[in-house]
Structure 1
């Protein structure tokens, strides 16, 4: 039983759901998640599954405390996604959600770099299909941009893995460190999937345009898989400390400015992952425990927040705070459940984020990195400001902005949100439930008087600051653009300028005779030409660089 891989089980279940009758699909999706969770819980530290691949020992499954912590929460959120999307997910969503979860489990249980890369890229493919499942004018190009960015990241990662194998003769996925160009390429590939600025724009570009259940699934696996990979391969790398701090501040600033509630929460994924990356950069046993605890809690409370935001979108058809308001009477329980997630991400005592965040941020201070700790605390203020105050007040409080018809929310959505809220409360009330799953022994006591008083003060002073600045924080109907400007707007600007220039320059010779040709329907391409060209150029440049430096 222990040797049955939970990730492969989910991939097999996805194939079954793909051909199952309509009336069985939702039950099979939830059942697959429960089965994967049961299989994960049967694993014990030291369990291994190996396979001989043309003379190479491939470690399909390597269970230890670090991998099991991530695998457990991945399997748990798979169940929640299946329940949440019971009444809304179509066949493509259900299949790709299960496949993405299976690939995520494959990443965190991989014992070698080759297996890691296989599941890493499988996760990219299934995530793209999950984004495209919404079939809208925004999700289609966003999915293609997601694919283009991650193809480049995959090329960089594979180049680093192969170079590392050639240099060391080993594919074992253990601590790598930053001592060679091969390690640097592996690091860059992982940083892209962790959404470290300036490699972050794919996340707020793609996640908010997926389906309501698809966004919840996406938020759980990609960045947290990268956090696991960084904790496994690069603990103690000081560069990660300051990259993580930059992520935390960058993400929260853009979240405060954002109008779309799902895009706001997507920027907070960037910010919260920054806390985890910073702790990994410290690299002590306490810090790795803190990053793992923070990732574990984040999967649960971010899932709850996105479920609530998705429920608002499902009920109203809108996701911009500037177009919402006055939903407290129509959706009161969604607000209550949302606030459990909001207080968790804000680090309020009695909620899951408090013991997790106190451990991760406290580890940074214990290592003597007081400037980094102070900046992370400042980012926490922005989290409270935007997620716990601005978003709920402008979504649920006041009066509706314009006429809004509120649809009924399926019971399954409330069940999933209720389970997620219960999990966040359980971890907050009993931190031992979380700490017992961490890689190292935890002696940290989160509910010390000083920690509780400081957390309450932070929440109270942020609320006062919000009240004083509330007129400046009114959401405006706009969408923030950060580094994605380079591939979302720049190509269109260049094309427009080139078109205007062609119109101004007279032709050098008379126009040719045009013979009418019957119209033919355009043939859909798998990728825009400029994206494919960028990917190929990046691949060639990377391979050229490795050949020169080797």
Structure 2
């Protein structure tokens, strides 16, 4: 038992988080990079079986359980953490570094959890780690909104688990959304996946992180949700329309966006939509394709966030309207942005072409014509915003570039180069990905007809880009999203209540106003004494205790 736990992939990351918080200098740098490397080793060393159980409060917990799905996501998470750590070496914030390792470690805990309770515990720690990554950049309001959204999702998830334990214990098993408990559980997972109507939290929170923190944020939360959906809700029919809505939403808002990191955040929602559709189809090929696309998405979205972070660090902005002409002064970031965008658009000979081909074949085999045509069109839209619009307006167009305050650090180039190389190698040799995702080994990827069809699709997108270049040009404007419901609507309601209260008070007769003022002053005095934890008189304490006791007895008697 002890040997298996010592090989848990989350262990070196959690220990590394503590060490990074207390160490400084070169030693901290070494720990920061070595912890995710050791986690990758443990991902492949831990036995492919459920680990020993731990009895706790009558429940059997399995903190480590490895299978092919866990190994695939664990590998992707470890690679993302390695790349993110190397990229963030110029970042000297110990708080962000510690939070990033905590975040990565808890994501590993989610995918390697062997029971629902352990899964939920790591799920909540993951929310804490990611929120601290945002807070560490001074974005307190965005971090608070992020934390509240994930607290809401966590409450739903926990309520669903609590309702489902009675029927089947804490074992991780497939569920159907046919009971209150399973529906609540599914809703809590979908909050983390960025599903509607709360998709906007992704684009609200991720761009508020630092130039390096956003790289970590793009990798774990939504993809951990995908891994949990694969385990708990394979073949859930409701996921197909939800995934399609996510894919359309992500593409449309990414096309409208002006800020690079907001565009990429919307794109995360859209690409996760592809995975959610495949999970809803639920065949072995579809589930394997969803997992493969999650693996590839972590890589190319990480590369795009690195390129965006490089631009932000050097120029102080990621607004397309303020950029342009950077290709000559930032060739490495330009190449990374182009490669990441082409991989996202499923350009042949990139890893994105391999994973999206698997998803499309899974849809074709199940005759899911509507989903197939919709995702094909959205893939063309992905080429518009990621493969063309983003690198053109940010780096390639003829424009006076903004002044560069910092050069691209060698560690940042190393991270982008490493991730880009993996994307190309997997695209040229798809069998490498198929070895760790054996469920997609029957997919024909590099065939002439398949490559020709995809090239025709991408060429059509390129023609549309040239024809509608004026319409696709970035504009400095506010784009309203569903986050208006929790960012602006509450303040509007508070203002309305205050206005109504003021009008109501103005109509109260003077005598009643005096009495109301006395009651208000008395209430405020009691509230102040309570908040200040002052010394209450014995009579007051006895009165309150008697009242509370009476209320309890009344409730018990009902």
TM-score when scaled to structure 2? Answer: 0.88
Partner of 1:165: 165
CA contact (8 A) 2:110 2:123 kept: yes
Q: What is the rounded CA distance, in whole Å, between the counterparts of 1:506 and 1:216 in structure 2?
A: 52
Q: Which has the higher helix share?
A: 2
CA contact (8 A) 2:286 2:362 kept: yes
Partner of 2:547: none
Q: Show CA shifts across 1:100-137 (max 9, x none).
A: 000000000011100010000110111111110101xx
CA 352–86 in structure 1, closer or farther in 2 if over 3 Å, else same:
same
CA contact (8 A) 2:343 2:352 kept: yes
Q: What is the rounded CA distance, in whole Å, between the counterparts of 2:405 and 2:320 in structure 1?
A: 15
Q: What is the rounded CA distance, in whole Å, between the counterparts of 2:183 and 2:45 in structure 1?
A: 36
Partner of 2:54: 51
CA contact (8 A) 1:89 1:213 kept: no
Report matched runs for 1:142-541 at 5 Å. 142-168=142-168, 170-400=169-399, 403-438=402-437, 440=439, 442-498=441-497, 507=506, 508=508
Partner of 2:520: none
Partner of 1:81: 84
Structure ID, larger Rg: 2
Bigger drift between 348-357 and 399-408 goes to 399-408
CA displacement at 1:289 relative to structure 2: 0.9
CA displacement at 1:54 relative to structure 2: 2.9
Q: What is the rounded CA distance, in whole Å, between the counterparts of 1:409 and 1:496 in structure 2?
A: 47
CA displacement at 1:8 relative to structure 2: 2.3
| SS of 2:61 mapped into structure 1 | strand
5+ long unaligned stretches in structure 2: 518-558
Q: What is the rounded CA distance, in whole Å, between the counterparts of 1:60 and 1:166 in structure 2?
A: 20
Q: What is the rounded CA distance, in whole Å, between the counterparts of 1:344 and 1:5 in structure 2?
A: 32
- RMSD of the TM alignment (CA)? 1.9
Partner of 1:18: 21
Partner of 2:552: none
Q: Which of 131, 134, 146 matches 1:131?
A: 134
Q: Show CA shifts across 1:461-509 (max 9, x none).
A: 1000010000111101124231101011112323444556667778455
| SS of 1:57 mapped into structure 2 | strand
CA contact (8 A) 2:289 2:439 kept: no
CA contact (8 A) 2:77 2:219 kept: yes
CA contact (8 A) 1:236 1:281 kept: yes
Q: Show CA shifts across 1:390-427 (max 9, x none).
A: 11111112344685344212111111000110111111
CA displacement at 1:24 relative to structure 2: 1.7
CA displacement at 1:361 relative to structure 2: 1.9
| SS of 2:318 mapped into structure 1 | coil
Q: What is the rounded CA distance, in whole Å, between the counterparts of 2:449 and 2:372 in structure 1?
A: 16
TM-score when scaled to structure 1? Answer: 0.89
CA 192–55 in structure 1, closer or farther in 2 if over 3 Å, else same:
same
Q: Show CA shifts across 1:256-275 (max 9, x none).
A: 00110000000000000000
| SS of 2:53 mapped into structure 1 | strand
Bigger drift between 29-38 and 433-442 goes to 433-442
Partner of 2:95: 92
CA contact (8 A) 1:322 1:401 kept: no
Report how many aligned residue pairs link the two structures: 510
CA 394–42 in structure 1, closer or farther in 2 if over 3 Å, else same:
same
Q: What is the rounded CA distance, in whole Å, between the counterparts of 2:478 and 2:91 in structure 1?
A: 27
Partner of 1:534: none
